[in-house]
Structure 1
Amino acid sequence: MQTSDDILSFISRNDPDLFYLIWYQQEVNQFAVMDPQERFRIFAEMHGIDQVQHNWEESMEKLKEVQESLRTADINVANKQQWLGMAKVALERYENNRKRLVEGGRMYAGALLKLETLYKQEQQHLLAKQDLIILESNEGISQNKLSEEVGNDKAMSARTIKKLIELGYIYKKQHESNSKAYRIYLTAKAKDILPEIHEKKAAVE
């Protein structure tokens, strides 16, 4: 009695094409009734799909890592931009404050200089008025004596007397016994304003 293997052996010798068709059909039938997972495993091994699948999974993992790195980089960039924005605002605020301080310092210094100038002018005016009041009862007094009476240093007294001479309130005459000394006298202009000076002085006192 002939077996199926004997029949296939006979067909393979006499009709190779038919043999191949039968063999192929058997393989297909066997493959069709196989467990799906086992079928996929064999098919994957036959066509290298398992390696492709492995490579694809590795690529997806790397892609996820790259995407995560990009997200982290985006967050870092956003944080840096926010920090830079805050730093820029702080720098602008600092520059504005510095400019205001510098401008305020200049204004303050200018105001102090003006006050100093006004103070010196007022001081000179008061000294001049004081000199005129003293000269009113001591005409012909020397410059040094006038300085002692007023209580000023010689340099200040010399500047005050020079200013009063320029304004036409006093004049100097050479001392009779000392060619280096001078006597100081009031002019008519000074005598005209002395009542007003006395009046203002009394109002202040």
Structure 2
Amino acid sequence: MALGDDYITKEQLKERLGINDAVDDAVLSVAVSSATDGINTHCRRDFQKADAASARKFRATDAELVIVDDFHSTTGLILETDEDDDGVFETVWDAADYELEPLNGVVDGKTGWPYWRICAVGSRSFPTARRAGVRLTAPWGWADVPSNVVSAAYVIAEDVARLKDTAFGVGGYSEFGRIRARENPHAATFLQRYRRNTVRIGG
């Protein structure tokens, strides 16, 4: 799997729904993709992963902390900063200059979380000038898709697939994407702890 890939397949959804023909294959393919897009939008993150590291830029608003996209490994990790706001990342940080959070990849006692916060702990600090002053090279995403995310994908895809049975083929919209008019409480429960703005990593 790669970043942007669906969390379940059309075939898996068909098996769940007990469908043995190809009549609704197009509808089911859309349902699977809509579920994935809805989950990513709702949680503000992509739970798939990139195997190779690549560079992304970030803007620090605090000299001691920068929030970045999820990355699942320190393999190939390079942290650089633009110290004089000229668009050139001339300073490469040593591993002793920063700590990655959540510490040990643990949140609420559960392992397997990616890193998305970098704290300056040495003599260096993050530039907070006008340009995006931090460049991070890392393998983005999650090492493994959480089981709750997969469960939510099934629930939402099932709702989207059933839109064809509603009046005019439209069931409404929600923060999970195009589903039946009422937001599915089961999906919300599955995804609650994975929304970036609600995750607690300390205390």
Q: Same-fold call, TM > 0.5?
A: no
Higher Cα Rg: structure 1 or 2? 1
Q: Which one scores higher on RCO, CA 8 angstroms, separation ≥ 6?
A: 2
TM-score norm. by structure 1 comes to 0.21
More helix by share: 1
